[in-house]
Structure 1
Amino acid sequence: MIKDMIEATDFRDAMSLLTTAVNVVTTEGVSGIHGFTASAVCSVTDTPPTLLVCMNQTSRSHAHFIENKTLSVNVLGAHHESISNAFASKLSSEERFKQGSWTHLKTGAPILEDALVSFDCEIEQVQEVGTHSVFMCRVVAVKQTEQQGGQEESLVYFNRAYSRVGQAEIA
């Protein structure tokens, strides 16, 4: 069915059919340590390396990302479903970061040690669009994890459920 006016619920239902990578986006700085689960992350350009990250302005950690001016995008593997759930929950920041092992690269934003890949970024621009802020982030460091046993499966979200995509080594 085609409608002239698109309702928010119709748009969300349609977007649920767009398969997306699951990421945990983190920050640490003068405003403290914070993080959230995000699917709205994409590449903008490779010269200079830039990512786009969208965040709801009503999120309790939104102001902290703005103040810290840095973030990391941690791309989750299939084994990270519990970390995704923790960072999407109402747990405190302290409780969220008890999940997984964390380190840092250049900016100080937390990097998940066994993420498929982590992008360490400086937030260069913020644009408000409707209910969300769009962060334009210059990538200053990248850490790719060598997967154990040939397993390179990514955690993705499709039709409001987790799925796995990639290559698992066949025994």
Structure 2
Amino acid sequence: MAEKKQQTKAVKSLTETQQQFRNAMSHLAAAVNVVTTDGVAGRSGFTASAVCSVTDSPPTLLVCLNRNASVYSVFQENQVLCVNTLAQNHQQLSNVFGGRTPMEERFAQGSWHQLCTGSPVLKDAVVAFDCQICQIVSVGTHDILCCQILETQMNHGTQGLIYFDRAYHNLTRHP
């Protein structure tokens, strides 16, 4: 009986720790991105805030992707992706790519073209990083995709979209 009580306490403690972690992470502002791919496994995309630079030699960034996500196998097989950093007018696009919207309907939103990898590039993204996945590291429930940047697209003057405290916020430049 005492062992069962300890196990219940340990599970509760883990759940509390996970919730505390999520609450704490909500206080870190992050750029909102739509990560896309196209290739032999098809076209796919999802919304992500877990994206950051790794190094500039060679130019590399990382993208975190849950292995249980419906898009996981497509990214795994295609081995290319584009990180499209969203502008302040892209809140609806973020929601569409972050939900259970069918893939064709996701890509019906926005205006898309391609750079060298063939992954969909949002024409009016703040910046787009067209990448090849060069390494994958598994941690917990997610894979960390290390992505070498092959080409970029920038839209100067476009204002970025940030996710902070479980809500969208706009960035503005001060003169």
Q: TM-score, normalised by structure 2?
A: 0.89
Corresponding residue for residue 7 of structure 2: none
Corresponding residue for residue 161 of structure 1: 167
Q: Does 1:132 pair with 2:138?
A: no
What is the root-mean-square deviation in Å for CA atoms of aligned residues?
1.5
- Residues 48/115 of structure 1: CA separation in 2 closer, same or farther (3 Å cut): same
- State how many pairs are aligned: 162
Contact 1:153 1:168 in 2 (8 A): no
Find the partner of 1:93 among 103, 111, 135: 103
Find the partner of 1:39 among 49, 68, 71: 49
> 1:166: how far off?
2.4
Task: Give the distance between the partners of 1:128 and 1:44, measured in 2 at CA.
Answer: 16
Paired residue secondary structure (1:14)? helix
Task: Give the distance between the partners of 1:146 and 1:108, measured in 2 at CA.
Answer: 23
In structure 2, stretches of 5+ residues that fail to align are 1-12
Q: What does the per-residue CA deviation read over 1:83-122, in whole Å, with 9 as the maximum and x for residues that have no partner?
A: 1010001001101000100000000010000000000000
Answer 1 or 2: which has greater strand percent: 1
Corresponding residue for residue 25 of structure 2: 15
Find the partner of 1:68 among 71, 78, 93: 78
Q: Does 1:106 pair with 2:105?
A: no
Answer 1 or 2: which has greater helix percent: 2
Tell me the amino acid that sits aligned with residue 46 of structure 2: F
Find the partner of 2:59 among 49, 70, 80: 49
Q: Percentage identity across aligned positions?
A: 49
> 1:63: how far off?
0.7
Q: How does 1:22-33 map to 2 (within 5 A)?
A: 22-33=32-43
Task: Give the distance between the partners of 1:80 and 1:168, measured in 2 at CA.
Answer: 21
> 1:153: how far off?
1.8
Q: TM-score, normalised by structure 1?
A: 0.91
Show structure 1 runs of 4+ deviating over 3 A: none
> 1:167: how far off?
1.7
Tell me the amino acid that sits aligned with residue 169 of structure 2: S
